[in-house]
Chains A and B, each alone.
Chain A
Amino acid sequence: MQPGKGLLMIQFDTVHKRFPNGTTAVHDLTLEMPEGGVTVLVGSSGCGKTTTLRMINRMVDPTSGTIRVGGKDVLEQDAAELRRSIGYVIQQSGLFPHRTVVDNIATVPLLLGWGRRKARARAAELLETVGLSADTGKRYPHQLSGGQQQRVGVARALAADPPVLLMDEPFGAVDPVVRTQLQDELLRLQRELNKTIVFVTHDIDEAVRLGDRIAVFRTGGHLVQCAAPAELLARPADTFVADFLGAERGLKLLSLTTLAGVAKGPAPKGARWQLTLDPARKPLVWRDGESGTEIPVRPLRDTDSLLSALNESIAAPSGLVARVDADGVLTGVTSREDIHDRAGHVHSEASTVAA
């Protein structure tokens, strides 16, 4: 695949899906998903986001309209062959309980006729890619944790190196800590592999975290808005989207901006709260010069988000945020006021930029 950004990998053209029982799952959807980008479909249950995803690999066929993947109409392709060319990850992983992890991952290569040895070698390679140890390969899915099972699910989807990856609430069934890890891993993988990813979730935080573009769906299968996360958070199209984003959408916007470029100065001398450093000039604690009370410090790097800086400025006793370099060495401090100023700027910029 040529990583040519801007090219349209998946195109929905007035796609309509009505089920035999009369419910409309997707209503005249026109949507384009650029190559090499992560498009997140969000909305409450029954809004048609999963149906939309499943129409891409023909797990569901549309009632009318056209869907193109890589320029080709999906309805004109053999369904099984189309599915082998598209990675598919589902909730609960959907792994085959009677096959070892390696054989699960090798599923599509074997269907494509790669031969057992080559398919297994590829599977072993992918174990490493998704952060699993080599001996995991010989185990059976039920012997793994939920998080490990999802990693295997991702590896299985990547096995034949498809340009497109469909992910249907893949992290919905794991606990929040593991979920954050898996999200980080996916972002890392995506930087390496540059796939076109379509990701379904009902969790708006997950959408903001992972998406290059977010498509918000409303019950009845209506697409309400599709925009980059910052634009969506700053300028929701209507009250439905605003409500869906929640009361903290302003703070979510800050999670998309980093601390880089926010002014910093030297730690103040003679103030009541002093920052204690270790010999390598790494911050240890905030110490009260009068009472000797110590409050923990959470130093931030330039790559940390403005939201975490805001949080730390509230938690720190003097309202100062300790800034460090990549090695954890103190580079200066930033005041609560500077962080607030920057936060305000981010908001006004995001809400005034022309669409």
Chain B
Amino acid sequence: MYELLKGLGAWLTGSEQWAGSDGIGHRLAEHLQYSLLATLIAAAIALPVGLLIGHTGRGAFIAINLSSFGRALPTVGLVVLVFLVSGLSMWPVYIALVALAVPSIVTNTYAGMTAVDPEVRDAARGQGMRPHQVLLQVELPLALPLIMTGLRLALIQVVATATIAAYVSFGGLGRYVFDGLAQRDLVQVLGGAVLVAVVAVVLDLALSALQRVLFRHRPSTTA
């Protein structure tokens, strides 16, 4: 056990380990690129859906059931499935990661919209706001703390899962995990896993702090 930790320490701090196209720096950049792009695509799909369901109150069952659907979805299974259909490309990875991220964003956006005080929505209408003004000037800003929570959760999930890119021969921090497993190099496996965990935790903390700063004037943030 001690040997393993010592090996991990040496692996993580070795300068040759951080440089080059096979180095931690490059793998980290790849990993973040996959994660951010997948989360952005997911947000572009999920935000309008969540806002629309919340604003109109129609299709609420979709928003509610999507989260359990998302939990039940086997990500690796999806990657393999799309891989078999599309062949070797980044498509399977992005499709799987987006499918993973969409439910948290839709569900939290919808939750944020339903948490808007009906009195406030009524007042907005009563002051003469048109439906799109009620949505953009009142509902969206008020739902924003929960929407950001949804984005944060989605990003963390995606970061943790983006290791699967390496499973279908692409880069990212998953490279160390899958290469290590193949080479029976336990230190490398552990190093990759620790890096993924650290990135996820750091992002979570940074985004939580950002939320606290952004919404410091709110009476109580459910974030």
- Footprint of B on A, CB under 8 Å? 57, 59, 80-85, 88, 90-98, 107-108, 111, 140, 142, 156
Question: B119 interface residue, CB < 8 Å from A?
Answer: yes
Q: Given the complex, which residues of B lie within 8 Å of A84, measured CB to CB?
A: 127-128
Q: What are the 3 tightest A-B residue pairs by CB atom distance, in nearest-first order?
A: A94-B123, A84-B128, A83-B128
Q: Flag if A81 contacts B128 (CB, 8 Å).
A: yes
Q: Flag if A80 contacts B130 (CB, 8 Å).
A: yes
Q: Flag if B128 contacts A98 (CB, 8 Å).
A: no
Q: Given the complex, which residues of A lie within 8 Å of B141, measured CB to CB?
A: 98
Q: Flag if A80 contacts B128 (CB, 8 Å).
A: yes
Distance in angstroms between the alpha carbons of A205 and B153 in the assembled complex: 54
Q: For B129, give its contact among A98, A111, A156 (CB under 8 Å).
A: A111
Q: Flag if B133 contacts A88 (CB, 8 Å).
A: no
Given known pairs A97-B142, A111-B133, the reply for A90 and B127 (CB within 8 Å) is no
Given known pairs A97-B142, A97-B219, A98-B218, the reply for A59 and B122 (CB within 8 Å) is yes
Q: Flag if A111 contacts B127 (CB, 8 Å).
A: yes
Least distance between B217 CB and chain A CB atoms (Å): 5
Q: Flag if B217 contacts A98 (CB, 8 Å).
A: yes
Q: Flag if A97 contacts B120 (CB, 8 Å).
A: yes
Given known pairs A80-B128, A97-B142, the reply for A90 and B123 (CB within 8 Å) is yes
Given known pairs A59-B122, A90-B122, A142-B219, the reply for A96 and B128 (CB within 8 Å) is no
Q: Given the complex, which residues of A lie within 8 Å of B217, measured CB to CB?
A: 98, 140
Q: Given the complex, which residues of B lie within 8 Å of A97, measured CB to CB?
A: 117, 120, 142, 218-219
Distance in angstroms between the alpha carbons of A115 and B26 in the assembled complex: 50
Question: B212 interface residue, CB < 8 Å from A?
Answer: no
Least distance between B146 CB and chain A CB atoms (Å): 13
Given known pairs A111-B133, A140-B217, A142-B219, the reply for A96 and B120 (CB within 8 Å) is yes
Question: B138 interface residue, CB < 8 Å from A?
Answer: yes
Interface bits B23-46 vs A (CB < 8 Å: 1, else 0): 000000000000000000000000
